[in-house]
Amino acid sequence: MEQFLKSGEAYKASLRDGRRVVVGGELVEDVTAHPAFAPAINGWAELFDAQFDPATQDVTTFVHPEFNARVSTGWLVPRSTADLRRRRRLVDFGTDRTLGVFGRPPDYGPTFMLGFLAEEARLEEREPGAAEKIHAFVEYATKNNLTSADLVTEAQADRSLPPSQNPGRLRVVERRDGGVVLYGAKPVASAALQSHITTIGTLLS
């Protein structure tokens, strides 16, 4: 059976992608080797390896009925009580392995996509074609065993102004064939440095 999974070493290799990380004014060439980041990244790598361990594979992965392939349970879209329990077992697994002190396990970011799926009808009303993009994103992330950080909270600003007038609010300023150009700011995403993608959302209407 085909597997859309990464080993711990493959996960670490995937982070050597030219990402630009600056610490103390110095450019970090390899985040997986930097002493400030290596412990957390190695911890995630162990959870990736757990996808191949027969003792934990049924918790960390499942056989996707549409792809007929084994994929990460983090990208499981729950459609039944059993699915919800399976996701809960994954959360418990990561929590137990880290004694509950690692707040951003690999399955944390993918959970964000459930919000997009839950609201896809409303998003489609606001932006026709959004639902198709959401499903394409979930399929791509699932097949590539990706991790995702999320950016939601808005940057601090003058509280006497309406949120929509926040000068630092992240917004689309240009649309191009290959995507969009954003302007503004979001507070740091704590798992962005060791994730493959960052999902940007907003709490504002």
Phi, psi at residue 26, to the nearest 5°? -115, 140
- Comparing C-alpha atoms, which of 113, 102, 49 is closest to residue 76? 113
- Comparing C-alpha atoms, which of 80, 84, 78, 87 is closest to residue 59? 87
Question: What is the tens place of the pLDDT at every residue in 127-166?
Answer: 899 999 999 999 999 999 999 888 766 677 777 777 667 7
* Cα distance between residue 205 and residue 200, in whole Å: 14
Q: Are 74 and 107 in contact (CB under 8 A)?
A: yes
* Cα distance between residue 37 and residue 72, in whole Å: 23
Q: What confidence category does residue 1 fall into, taking pLDDT thresholds of 50, 70 and 90? A: confident
Q: Are 131 and 123 in contact (CB under 8 A)?
A: yes
Please tell me what DSSP assigns to residue 189. Answer: P
pTM of the model: 0.82
* Cα distance between residue 186 and residue 201, in whole Å: 10
At which residue do the structure tokens 């060791």 appear?
A: 194
Report pLDDT for 164.
Answer: 67
Q: Which residues pair with 3 in a beta bridge?
A: 70
